[in-house]
Structure 1
């Protein structure tokens, strides 16, 4: 498939991460995607979604 690739990476995690932690993770993800030839730096988007503890459940909760 041709065309422009604009990958979006969505990170869903519990709230409480600092802006610096998010920035560091975003940089690592972007650098890895560039190294793998996935897309150009300016095309990659990393989106963080903070979730409150009451907004999700895991198998360990039961």
Structure 2
């Protein structure tokens, strides 16, 4: 089964991550079959100054 890598800006709560992990796991089981125990979800919290879109850091977009 899959390992899902989720990259997002830091600041999400543990509760939000738990809910997302639950939903992503359920979707994998529904679509791919298998057991929920075989689905891994790994969260990567990225600081806004470490992510750019269109050549502009997200930390600069908030100003």
Runs of at least 5 residues in structure 1 that lack an aligned partner in the other structure = 1-5
User: How far did 1:60 drift?
Assistant: 6.6
Structure of greater relative contact order (alpha carbons < 8 Å, 6+ residues apart): 1
Q: Which structure 2 segments of 5+ residues have no match?
A: 58-63
Instruction: Output the TM-score relative to the length of structure 2.
Output: 0.80
Distance 2:50 2:56 in 1: 12
* Structure number with higher strand proportion: 2
Q: CA RMSD in A?
A: 1.7
Q: Which piece of structure 1 moves more, 31-40 or 45-54?
A: 31-40
Structure 2 counterpart of 1:48, from 35, 43, 47: 43
Residue 38 of structure 1, CA deviation:
4.0
Distance in 1 separating the partners of 2:47 and 2:4: 20
- The structure with the greater share of residues assigned to helix is 2
Structure 1 residue ranges, 4+ long, deviating more than 3 angstroms after superposition? none
